[in-house]
Structure 1
Protein backbone atom coordinates (compact mmCIF):
# COMPACT_ATOMS: atom_id res chain seq x y z
CA UNK A 1 0.00 0.00 0.00
CA UNK A 2 1.48 3.33 -1.09
CA UNK A 3 1.68 5.93 1.66
CA UNK A 4 0.78 9.54 1.01
CA UNK A 5 3.71 11.89 1.28
CA UNK A 6 1.63 14.35 3.32
CA UNK A 7 -1.63 12.85 4.61
CA UNK A 8 -4.64 15.03 5.38
CA UNK A 9 -4.32 14.30 9.10
CA UNK A 10 -0.86 15.89 9.15
CA UNK A 11 -2.22 18.98 7.41
CA UNK A 12 -4.91 19.25 10.09
CA UNK A 13 -2.24 18.86 12.79
CA UNK A 14 -0.22 21.70 11.23
CA UNK A 15 -3.30 23.94 11.08
CA UNK A 16 -4.04 23.05 14.71
CA UNK A 17 -0.49 23.98 15.71
CA UNK A 18 -0.81 27.35 13.96
CA UNK A 19 -4.17 27.87 15.67
CA UNK A 20 -2.51 27.15 19.02
CA UNK A 21 0.28 29.64 18.37
CA UNK A 22 -2.30 32.29 17.40
CA UNK A 23 -4.22 31.73 20.65
CA UNK A 24 -0.97 31.96 22.61
CA UNK A 25 0.04 35.18 20.83
CA UNK A 26 -3.36 36.76 21.49
CA UNK A 27 -3.01 35.97 25.18
CA UNK A 28 0.49 37.41 25.25
CA UNK A 29 -0.04 40.65 23.32
CA UNK A 30 -3.54 41.50 24.56
CA UNK A 31 -3.09 40.64 28.23
CA UNK A 32 0.35 39.47 29.39
CA UNK A 33 2.65 42.04 27.76
CA UNK A 34 0.41 45.07 28.56
CA UNK A 35 0.26 43.86 32.18
CA UNK A 36 4.06 43.67 32.35
CA UNK A 37 3.96 39.97 33.28
CA UNK A 38 6.53 37.29 32.51
CA UNK A 39 6.05 33.67 31.51
CA UNK A 40 8.29 30.77 32.49
CA UNK A 41 10.64 28.71 30.36
CA UNK A 42 12.64 30.02 27.43
CA UNK A 43 9.97 32.57 26.52
CA UNK A 44 10.27 34.04 30.01
CA UNK A 45 14.03 34.37 29.53
CA UNK A 46 13.39 36.01 26.15
CA UNK A 47 11.05 38.53 27.77
CA UNK A 48 13.64 39.41 30.41
CA UNK A 49 16.38 39.83 27.79
CA UNK A 50 14.03 42.03 25.74
CA UNK A 51 13.25 44.27 28.72
CA UNK A 52 16.90 44.64 29.74
CA UNK A 53 17.94 45.33 26.13
CA UNK A 54 15.30 48.02 25.61
CA UNK A 55 16.14 49.67 28.93
CA UNK A 56 19.86 49.71 28.13
CA UNK A 57 19.49 51.05 24.58
CA UNK A 58 16.33 53.15 24.80
CA UNK A 59 15.10 51.38 21.69
CA UNK A 60 11.32 51.35 21.17
CA UNK A 61 10.50 48.81 18.41
CA UNK A 62 7.03 48.65 16.90
CA UNK A 63 6.76 44.92 17.66
CA UNK A 64 7.57 42.76 20.68
CA UNK A 65 11.04 41.38 19.96
CA UNK A 66 10.71 38.70 22.67
CA UNK A 67 9.40 36.36 19.97
CA UNK A 68 12.50 36.94 17.83
CA UNK A 69 14.80 36.35 20.80
CA UNK A 70 12.87 33.17 21.63
CA UNK A 71 13.31 32.01 18.02
CA UNK A 72 17.06 32.66 18.12
CA UNK A 73 17.45 30.67 21.36
CA UNK A 74 15.36 27.77 20.06
CA UNK A 75 17.17 27.32 16.72
CA UNK A 76 20.31 25.61 18.15
CA UNK A 77 18.08 23.47 20.38
CA UNK A 78 16.10 22.38 17.31
CA UNK A 79 19.31 21.45 15.49
CA UNK A 80 20.37 19.33 18.47
CA UNK A 81 16.90 17.76 18.70
CA UNK A 82 17.02 16.86 14.98
CA UNK A 83 19.76 14.34 15.75
CA UNK A 84 18.01 12.82 18.76
CA UNK A 85 14.25 13.00 18.27
CA UNK A 86 11.61 12.02 15.73
CA UNK A 87 11.99 14.40 12.80
CA UNK A 88 8.23 14.93 12.58
CA UNK A 89 8.15 16.24 16.15
CA UNK A 90 11.08 18.56 15.44
CA UNK A 91 9.47 19.89 12.26
CA UNK A 92 6.18 20.51 14.07
CA UNK A 93 8.09 22.27 16.83
CA UNK A 94 9.83 24.44 14.23
CA UNK A 95 6.38 25.28 12.85
CA UNK A 96 5.08 26.21 16.31
CA UNK A 97 8.13 28.35 17.17
CA UNK A 98 7.95 30.08 13.78
CA UNK A 99 4.19 30.60 14.09
CA UNK A 100 4.61 32.06 17.58
CA UNK A 101 7.29 34.47 16.35
CA UNK A 102 5.19 35.60 13.37
CA UNK A 103 1.95 36.04 15.33
CA UNK A 104 3.68 37.86 18.20
CA UNK A 105 4.94 40.29 15.56
CA UNK A 106 1.56 40.66 13.82
CA UNK A 107 -0.86 40.83 16.77
CA UNK A 108 -0.82 44.44 18.06
CA UNK A 109 -0.02 45.02 21.71
CA UNK A 110 -3.37 46.36 22.91
CA UNK A 111 -4.33 46.81 26.55
CA UNK A 112 -8.03 45.94 26.40
CA UNK A 113 -8.37 45.59 30.20
CA UNK A 114 -6.44 48.61 31.37
CA UNK A 115 -5.83 48.67 35.10
CA UNK A 116 -7.41 45.29 35.88
CA UNK A 117 -4.26 43.30 36.60
CA UNK A 118 -6.02 40.21 37.96
CA UNK A 119 -8.36 39.90 34.96
CA UNK A 120 -5.45 40.31 32.53
CA UNK A 121 -3.55 37.65 34.44
CA UNK A 122 -6.44 35.14 34.42
CA UNK A 123 -7.65 35.66 30.84
CA UNK A 124 -4.11 35.80 29.46
CA UNK A 125 -3.25 32.61 31.33
CA UNK A 126 -6.28 30.77 29.94
CA UNK A 127 -5.58 31.86 26.35
CA UNK A 128 -1.87 31.03 26.51
CA UNK A 129 -2.51 27.70 28.24
CA UNK A 130 -5.16 26.67 25.72
CA UNK A 131 -2.85 27.66 22.87
CA UNK A 132 0.04 25.55 24.16
CA UNK A 133 -2.31 22.68 25.01
CA UNK A 134 -3.69 22.71 21.46
CA UNK A 135 -0.29 22.59 19.77
CA UNK A 136 0.83 19.80 22.12
CA UNK A 137 -2.37 17.91 21.29
CA UNK A 138 -1.51 18.25 17.59
CA UNK A 139 1.88 16.61 18.14
CA UNK A 140 4.09 19.69 18.34
CA UNK A 141 5.86 21.34 21.25
CA UNK A 142 6.48 24.95 22.22
CA UNK A 143 10.23 24.35 22.01
CA UNK A 144 12.58 25.30 24.82
CA UNK A 145 12.02 23.25 27.96
CA UNK A 146 9.66 20.86 26.11
CA UNK A 147 12.47 19.88 23.75
CA UNK A 148 14.88 19.55 26.65
CA UNK A 149 12.42 17.25 28.42
CA UNK A 150 11.99 15.05 25.35
CA UNK A 151 15.74 14.75 24.88
CA UNK A 152 16.20 13.83 28.55
CA UNK A 153 13.56 11.11 28.24
CA UNK A 154 15.09 9.86 24.98
CA UNK A 155 18.55 9.64 26.55
CA UNK A 156 17.18 7.58 29.45
CA UNK A 157 18.12 10.24 31.99
CA UNK A 158 16.56 9.99 35.44
CA UNK A 159 16.59 13.79 35.75
CA UNK A 160 13.08 15.08 36.35
CA UNK A 161 12.15 17.73 33.79
CA UNK A 162 9.56 18.93 36.31
CA UNK A 163 12.33 19.74 38.78
CA UNK A 164 14.41 21.40 36.04
CA UNK A 165 11.41 23.54 35.06
CA UNK A 166 10.70 24.41 38.68
CA UNK A 167 14.27 25.55 39.36
CA UNK A 168 14.42 27.48 36.08
CA UNK A 169 11.16 29.32 36.72
CA UNK A 170 12.11 30.00 40.34
CA UNK A 171 15.25 31.72 39.06
CA UNK A 172 13.26 33.76 36.50
CA UNK A 173 10.68 34.95 39.01
CA UNK A 174 13.35 35.79 41.57
CA UNK A 175 14.95 38.03 38.94
CA UNK A 176 11.51 39.58 38.27
CA UNK A 177 11.04 40.33 41.97
CA UNK A 178 14.50 41.91 42.27
CA UNK A 179 14.57 43.80 38.95
CA UNK A 180 10.94 44.99 38.89
CA UNK A 181 8.68 44.43 41.88
CA UNK A 182 7.33 41.69 44.11
CA UNK A 183 3.82 42.19 42.70
CA UNK A 184 5.14 41.60 39.17
CA UNK A 185 6.63 38.28 40.28
CA UNK A 186 3.46 37.24 42.16
CA UNK A 187 1.13 38.03 39.26
CA UNK A 188 3.52 36.28 36.86
CA UNK A 189 3.44 33.16 39.04
CA UNK A 190 -0.37 33.31 39.13
CA UNK A 191 -0.44 33.66 35.34
CA UNK A 192 1.83 30.62 34.98
CA UNK A 193 -0.41 28.59 37.30
CA UNK A 194 -3.55 29.44 35.29
CA UNK A 195 -1.72 28.79 32.00
CA UNK A 196 -0.44 25.40 33.16
CA UNK A 197 -3.87 24.37 34.43
CA UNK A 198 -5.53 25.31 31.12
CA UNK A 199 -2.80 23.50 29.17
CA UNK A 200 -3.28 20.31 31.19
CA UNK A 201 -7.01 20.30 30.41
CA UNK A 202 -6.23 20.08 26.68
CA UNK A 203 -3.01 18.11 26.71
CA UNK A 204 -3.75 14.38 26.86
CA UNK A 205 -0.23 13.02 26.28
CA UNK A 206 0.21 11.97 29.89
CA UNK A 207 -3.06 10.02 30.13
CA UNK A 208 -2.19 6.39 29.45
CA UNK A 209 -4.75 4.15 27.78
CA UNK A 210 -4.86 0.35 27.65
CA UNK A 211 -6.21 -0.87 24.32
CA UNK A 212 -7.29 -4.45 23.64
CA UNK A 213 -8.12 -5.36 20.04
CA UNK A 214 -9.81 -8.62 19.03
CA UNK A 215 -9.66 -9.35 15.29
CA UNK A 216 -9.93 -12.31 12.95
CA UNK A 217 -7.55 -10.68 10.49
CA UNK A 218 -3.79 -10.96 10.84
CA UNK A 219 -2.38 -8.26 8.58
CA UNK A 220 1.36 -7.45 8.67
CA UNK A 221 0.67 -3.99 7.21
CA UNK A 222 -1.60 -3.11 10.13
CA UNK A 223 1.04 -4.22 12.63
CA UNK A 224 3.69 -2.28 10.69
CA UNK A 225 1.66 0.95 10.85
CA UNK A 226 1.21 0.62 14.61
CA UNK A 227 4.86 -0.23 15.21
CA UNK A 228 6.46 2.24 12.78
CA UNK A 229 3.99 5.08 12.22
CA UNK A 230 2.50 5.20 15.71
CA UNK A 231 5.74 4.08 17.40
CA UNK A 232 3.92 1.74 19.79
CA UNK A 233 4.63 -1.86 20.66
CA UNK A 234 2.15 -4.72 20.37
CA UNK A 235 1.66 -7.87 22.42
CA UNK A 236 -0.19 -10.47 20.34
CA UNK A 237 -2.10 -13.45 21.75
CA UNK A 238 -3.67 -16.04 19.44
CA UNK A 239 -6.88 -17.61 20.72
CA UNK A 240 -10.29 -19.06 19.93
CA UNK A 241 -13.62 -17.24 20.03
CA UNK A 242 -15.69 -19.22 22.52
CA UNK A 243 -19.04 -18.54 20.83
CA UNK A 244 -18.06 -19.15 17.19
CA UNK A 245 -15.05 -21.40 17.67
CA UNK A 246 -13.18 -19.31 15.09
CA UNK A 247 -9.50 -18.44 15.57
CA UNK A 248 -8.95 -14.83 16.72
CA UNK A 249 -5.95 -12.59 17.41
CA UNK A 250 -5.82 -10.37 20.48
CA UNK A 251 -3.55 -7.30 20.45
CA UNK A 252 -2.63 -5.50 23.67
CA UNK A 253 -1.36 -1.96 23.08
CA UNK A 254 -0.54 0.98 25.38
CA UNK A 255 -0.93 4.48 23.98
CA UNK A 256 -1.47 8.04 25.19
CA UNK A 257 -5.04 9.31 25.03
CA UNK A 258 -4.50 11.60 22.07
CA UNK A 259 -3.21 8.63 20.00
CA UNK A 260 -6.48 6.68 20.38
CA UNK A 261 -8.01 8.23 17.26
CA UNK A 262 -5.00 7.37 15.11
CA UNK A 263 -4.85 3.81 16.46
CA UNK A 264 -8.56 3.23 15.85
CA UNK A 265 -8.24 4.58 12.29
CA UNK A 266 -5.38 2.17 11.55
CA UNK A 267 -7.30 -0.84 12.90
CA UNK A 268 -10.58 0.06 11.17
CA UNK A 269 -8.77 0.49 7.86
CA UNK A 270 -7.75 -3.18 7.87
CA UNK A 271 -10.63 -4.71 9.86
CA UNK A 272 -13.86 -2.68 10.12
CA UNK A 273 -15.34 -5.44 12.30
CA UNK A 274 -12.55 -5.47 14.90
CA UNK A 275 -13.57 -5.35 18.58
CA UNK A 276 -11.72 -2.57 20.43
CA UNK A 277 -11.71 -1.93 24.18
CA UNK A 278 -9.95 1.19 25.56
CA UNK A 279 -9.42 1.89 29.26
CA UNK A 280 -8.15 5.28 30.50
CA UNK A 281 -5.81 5.93 33.40
CA UNK A 282 -3.48 2.94 33.19
CA UNK A 283 -0.62 3.11 35.72
CA UNK A 284 2.50 1.80 34.01
CA UNK A 285 5.87 0.71 35.37
CA UNK A 286 8.81 -0.49 33.33
CA UNK A 287 9.76 -0.03 29.69
CA UNK A 288 7.11 2.29 28.26
CA UNK A 289 7.82 5.19 25.91
CA UNK A 290 6.29 8.33 27.34
CA UNK A 291 5.88 11.19 24.88
CA UNK A 292 6.09 14.79 25.97
Structure 2
Protein backbone atom coordinates (compact mmCIF):
# COMPACT_ATOMS: atom_id res chain seq x y z
CA UNK A 1 0.00 0.00 0.00
CA UNK A 2 2.72 2.43 1.02
CA UNK A 3 4.66 1.65 -2.15
CA UNK A 4 1.65 2.50 -4.33
CA UNK A 5 1.19 5.82 -2.50
CA UNK A 6 4.90 6.60 -2.93
CA UNK A 7 4.78 5.90 -6.67
CA UNK A 8 1.67 8.05 -7.16
CA UNK A 9 3.22 10.93 -5.22
CA UNK A 10 6.43 10.70 -7.23
CA UNK A 11 4.48 10.88 -10.49
CA UNK A 12 2.47 13.87 -9.25
CA UNK A 13 5.62 15.65 -8.07
CA UNK A 14 7.28 15.16 -11.46
CA UNK A 15 4.24 16.65 -13.18
CA UNK A 16 4.18 19.51 -10.66
CA UNK A 17 7.89 20.20 -11.31
CA UNK A 18 7.11 21.18 -14.91
CA UNK A 19 3.78 22.91 -14.22
CA UNK A 20 4.18 24.58 -10.82
CA UNK A 21 7.96 24.87 -10.54
CA UNK A 22 10.70 23.35 -8.43
CA UNK A 23 10.04 25.72 -5.53
CA UNK A 24 6.57 24.23 -5.15
CA UNK A 25 7.99 20.68 -5.27
CA UNK A 26 10.63 21.36 -2.60
CA UNK A 27 8.06 22.97 -0.31
CA UNK A 28 5.67 20.07 -0.87
CA UNK A 29 8.38 17.55 0.05
CA UNK A 30 9.04 19.49 3.24
CA UNK A 31 5.31 19.63 3.99
CA UNK A 32 4.80 15.91 3.35
CA UNK A 33 7.71 14.86 5.57
CA UNK A 34 6.67 17.38 8.23
CA UNK A 35 3.11 16.05 8.25
CA UNK A 36 4.34 12.46 8.56
CA UNK A 37 6.60 13.44 11.47
CA UNK A 38 3.86 15.31 13.33
CA UNK A 39 1.34 12.50 12.84
CA UNK A 40 3.87 10.03 14.25
CA UNK A 41 4.33 12.16 17.36
CA UNK A 42 0.59 12.71 17.75
CA UNK A 43 -0.16 8.99 17.54
CA UNK A 44 2.46 8.27 20.18
CA UNK A 45 1.69 10.94 22.77
CA UNK A 46 -1.93 12.04 22.18
CA UNK A 47 -3.49 8.89 23.55
CA UNK A 48 -6.60 10.44 25.11
CA UNK A 49 -9.34 11.89 22.98
CA UNK A 50 -10.50 15.41 23.79
CA UNK A 51 -13.98 14.64 22.47
CA UNK A 52 -16.50 12.00 23.53
CA UNK A 53 -16.35 9.05 21.17
CA UNK A 54 -20.15 8.90 21.16
CA UNK A 55 -20.36 12.17 19.21
CA UNK A 56 -18.72 11.58 15.83
CA UNK A 57 -20.39 14.65 14.29
CA UNK A 58 -18.70 17.02 16.74
CA UNK A 59 -15.40 15.21 16.28
CA UNK A 60 -15.76 15.50 12.50
CA UNK A 61 -16.50 19.24 12.57
CA UNK A 62 -13.77 20.19 15.06
CA UNK A 63 -11.26 17.96 13.28
CA UNK A 64 -12.16 19.53 9.93
CA UNK A 65 -11.75 23.05 11.35
CA UNK A 66 -8.31 22.29 12.81
CA UNK A 67 -7.19 20.47 9.67
CA UNK A 68 -8.50 23.25 7.42
CA UNK A 69 -6.65 25.92 9.40
CA UNK A 70 -3.38 24.00 9.13
CA UNK A 71 -3.77 23.21 5.44
CA UNK A 72 -4.76 26.80 4.72
CA UNK A 73 -1.44 28.01 6.15
CA UNK A 74 0.42 25.45 4.05
CA UNK A 75 -1.42 26.36 0.84
CA UNK A 76 -0.95 30.10 1.41
CA UNK A 77 2.83 29.49 1.29
CA UNK A 78 2.50 27.91 -2.20
CA UNK A 79 2.99 24.42 -0.82
CA UNK A 80 0.99 21.25 -0.18
CA UNK A 81 1.29 18.03 1.81
CA UNK A 82 1.32 15.83 -1.29
CA UNK A 83 -1.28 13.49 -2.75
CA UNK A 84 -4.48 14.98 -4.13
CA UNK A 85 -3.36 18.41 -2.89
CA UNK A 86 -1.00 18.53 -5.86
CA UNK A 87 -3.90 17.84 -8.23
CA UNK A 88 -5.86 20.68 -6.63
CA UNK A 89 -2.92 23.07 -7.01
CA UNK A 90 -2.63 22.22 -10.71
CA UNK A 91 -6.37 22.75 -11.22
CA UNK A 92 -6.31 26.20 -9.57
CA UNK A 93 -3.38 27.24 -11.78
CA UNK A 94 -5.52 26.96 -14.92
CA UNK A 95 -9.02 27.60 -13.57
CA UNK A 96 -10.45 30.61 -11.76
CA UNK A 97 -11.47 28.65 -8.69
CA UNK A 98 -10.10 28.74 -5.16
CA UNK A 99 -7.70 26.14 -3.83
CA UNK A 100 -10.34 24.90 -1.40
CA UNK A 101 -12.98 24.45 -4.08
CA UNK A 102 -10.59 22.69 -6.44
CA UNK A 103 -9.57 20.21 -3.76
CA UNK A 104 -13.17 19.74 -2.69
CA UNK A 105 -14.11 18.61 -6.21
CA UNK A 106 -11.33 16.02 -6.15
CA UNK A 107 -12.21 14.71 -2.68
CA UNK A 108 -15.93 14.55 -3.42
CA UNK A 109 -15.21 12.17 -6.30
CA UNK A 110 -13.01 10.04 -4.03
CA UNK A 111 -15.57 9.92 -1.21
CA UNK A 112 -18.45 9.04 -3.52
CA UNK A 113 -16.32 6.31 -5.09
CA UNK A 114 -15.77 4.80 -1.64
CA UNK A 115 -19.35 3.53 -1.77
CA UNK A 116 -18.15 0.59 -3.85
CA UNK A 117 -15.66 -0.31 -1.10
CA UNK A 118 -17.51 0.36 2.16
CA UNK A 119 -21.14 0.56 1.01
CA UNK A 120 -21.86 2.80 4.00
CA UNK A 121 -24.05 5.84 3.45
CA UNK A 122 -23.23 7.10 6.95
CA UNK A 123 -19.50 7.21 6.24
CA UNK A 124 -20.08 9.01 2.96
CA UNK A 125 -22.24 11.65 4.66
CA UNK A 126 -19.64 12.22 7.38
CA UNK A 127 -16.96 12.45 4.73
CA UNK A 128 -18.89 15.08 2.77
CA UNK A 129 -19.49 17.09 5.96
CA UNK A 130 -15.78 17.00 6.77
CA UNK A 131 -14.60 18.19 3.36
CA UNK A 132 -17.28 20.92 3.20
CA UNK A 133 -16.15 22.38 6.55
CA UNK A 134 -12.46 21.71 5.94
CA UNK A 135 -12.19 23.47 2.59
CA UNK A 136 -14.41 26.34 3.69
CA UNK A 137 -11.87 27.00 6.45
CA UNK A 138 -9.02 26.53 3.95
CA UNK A 139 -10.44 29.26 1.70
CA UNK A 140 -10.96 31.59 4.66
CA UNK A 141 -7.34 31.18 5.81
CA UNK A 142 -5.94 31.63 2.29
CA UNK A 143 -8.13 34.68 1.64
CA UNK A 144 -7.01 36.21 4.93
CA UNK A 145 -3.35 35.62 4.15
CA UNK A 146 -3.65 37.06 0.62
CA UNK A 147 -6.14 39.84 1.34
CA UNK A 148 -5.08 43.08 -0.33
CA UNK A 149 -5.97 46.64 0.61
CA UNK A 150 -5.89 50.01 -1.12
CA UNK A 151 -4.76 53.21 0.58
CA UNK A 152 -5.58 56.76 -0.49
CA UNK A 153 -3.22 59.09 1.35
CA UNK A 154 -3.77 62.86 1.35
CA UNK A 155 -0.75 64.77 2.64
CA UNK A 156 1.40 67.76 1.78
CA UNK A 157 4.40 65.52 2.49
CA UNK A 158 3.38 62.99 -0.12
CA UNK A 159 6.86 62.82 -1.69
CA UNK A 160 8.52 61.89 1.60
CA UNK A 161 5.80 59.36 2.41
CA UNK A 162 6.06 57.75 -1.04
CA UNK A 163 9.85 57.53 -0.80
CA UNK A 164 9.70 55.81 2.60
CA UNK A 165 7.00 53.38 1.45
CA UNK A 166 9.22 52.43 -1.51
CA UNK A 167 12.37 52.11 0.60
CA UNK A 168 11.00 50.49 3.77
CA UNK A 169 8.01 48.45 2.60
CA UNK A 170 9.09 47.88 -1.00
CA UNK A 171 5.66 48.85 -2.30
CA UNK A 172 4.95 51.05 -5.27
CA UNK A 173 3.00 54.30 -5.06
CA UNK A 174 1.03 56.24 -7.63
CA UNK A 175 0.57 60.01 -7.37
CA UNK A 176 -2.63 61.41 -8.84
CA UNK A 177 -3.87 64.99 -9.04
CA UNK A 178 -6.97 65.98 -7.11
CA UNK A 179 -8.78 69.10 -6.00
CA UNK A 180 -10.25 69.71 -2.56
CA UNK A 181 -13.85 70.80 -3.12
CA UNK A 182 -14.05 72.71 0.15
CA UNK A 183 -10.69 74.49 -0.16
CA UNK A 184 -10.69 74.60 -3.98
CA UNK A 185 -6.96 73.88 -3.73
CA UNK A 186 -5.03 71.30 -5.76
CA UNK A 187 -4.15 68.18 -3.79
CA UNK A 188 -1.77 65.31 -4.48
CA UNK A 189 -3.15 61.88 -3.61
CA UNK A 190 -1.02 58.78 -3.03
CA UNK A 191 -2.51 55.46 -4.13
CA UNK A 192 -0.90 52.42 -2.52
CA UNK A 193 -1.82 48.75 -2.96
CA UNK A 194 -0.50 46.38 -0.30
CA UNK A 195 -1.21 43.20 1.60
CA UNK A 196 -3.55 43.53 4.56
CA UNK A 197 -0.73 42.43 6.85
CA UNK A 198 1.18 45.55 5.77
CA UNK A 199 -1.58 47.92 6.89
CA UNK A 200 -0.17 48.62 10.35
CA UNK A 201 3.37 49.42 9.10
CA UNK A 202 1.90 51.83 6.52
CA UNK A 203 -0.21 53.63 9.13
CA UNK A 204 2.79 53.93 11.45
CA UNK A 205 4.99 55.22 8.64
CA UNK A 206 2.50 57.89 7.59
CA UNK A 207 1.89 58.96 11.19
CA UNK A 208 5.64 59.30 11.76
CA UNK A 209 6.02 61.63 8.79
CA UNK A 210 2.73 63.54 8.87
CA UNK A 211 0.42 62.98 11.82
CA UNK A 212 -2.22 65.20 10.17
CA UNK A 213 -2.40 63.14 6.98
CA UNK A 214 -5.82 61.95 5.81
CA UNK A 215 -5.91 58.22 5.00
CA UNK A 216 -8.57 56.03 3.47
CA UNK A 217 -8.20 52.24 3.57
CA UNK A 218 -10.43 49.81 1.68
CA UNK A 219 -10.39 46.09 0.92
CA UNK A 220 -10.05 45.06 -2.71
CA UNK A 221 -11.37 41.87 -4.27
CA UNK A 222 -8.15 41.05 -6.10
CA UNK A 223 -4.82 42.54 -7.14
CA UNK A 224 -2.87 40.92 -9.96
CA UNK A 225 0.63 41.68 -11.13
CA UNK A 226 4.15 42.01 -9.76
CA UNK A 227 4.23 41.60 -5.99
CA UNK A 228 0.70 40.17 -5.86
CA UNK A 229 -1.21 37.27 -7.43
CA UNK A 230 -0.42 36.27 -10.98
CA UNK A 231 -3.00 36.57 -13.75
CA UNK A 232 -4.07 33.06 -14.81
Residue segments in structure 1 that go unaligned for 5+ positions in a row: 1-52, 58-64, 153-157
1:171 matched to 2:109: yes
What displacement does 1:99 show? Answer: 2.5
Report how many aligned residue pairs link the two structures: 209
1:209 matched to 2:144: no
Match of 1:278 in 2: 217
Cα distance between partner residues in 2 of 1:105 and 1:164: 28
* Structure 1 residues 161 and 202: CA distance shift in structure 2, 3 A: closer
What displacement does 1:168 show? Answer: 1.9
Match of 2:166 in 1: 223
1:124 matched to 2:63: yes
What displacement does 1:236 show? Answer: 2.7
Q: Could you tell me the TM-score, scaled by structure 1's length?
A: 0.52
Cα distance between partner residues in 1 of 2:203 and 2:15: 36
Q: Which of 76, 83, 86 lines up with 2:14 in the alignment?
A: 76
Q: Which of 37, 40, 48 lines up with 1:102 in the alignment?
A: 37
Whether the aligned pair in 2 keeps the contact of 1:78 and 1:94 (CA below 8 Å) is no
Q: Which of 193, 201, 212 lines up with 1:265 in the alignment?
A: 201
Residue segments in structure 2 that go unaligned for 5+ positions in a row: none
* Structure 1 residues 247 and 160: CA distance shift in structure 2, 3 A: closer
Cα distance between partner residues in 1 of 2:43 and 2:89: 28
1:183 matched to 2:122: yes
Query: What is the CA deviation profile of residues 88-133 of structure 1, one whole-angstrom value per residue up to 9, with x for unaligned ones?
Result: x776655544422321232207572435322321221121122223
Whether the aligned pair in 2 keeps the contact of 1:129 and 1:199 (CA below 8 Å) is yes
Cα distance between partner residues in 2 of 1:217 and 1:165: 45
Whether the aligned pair in 1 keeps the contact of 2:72 and 2:139 (CA below 8 Å) is yes
Q: Which structure is richer in relative contact order (CA contacts within 8 A, separation 6 or more)?
A: 1
* Structure 1 residues 167 and 197: CA distance shift in structure 2, 3 A: closer
* Structure 1 residues 221 and 125: CA distance shift in structure 2, 3 A: same
Aligned-residue RMSD, C-alpha: 4.4
What displacement does 1:135 show? Answer: 4.1
4+ runs of 1 displaced by more than 6 Å? 68-71, 240-243
1:250 matched to 2:190: yes
Match of 1:21 in 2: none
Match of 1:151 in 2: 93
Cα distance between partner residues in 2 of 1:221 and 1:192: 45
Cα distance between partner residues in 2 of 1:159 and 1:140: 16
Larger of the two Rg values belongs to structure: 2
Cα distance between partner residues in 2 of 1:166 and 1:262: 31
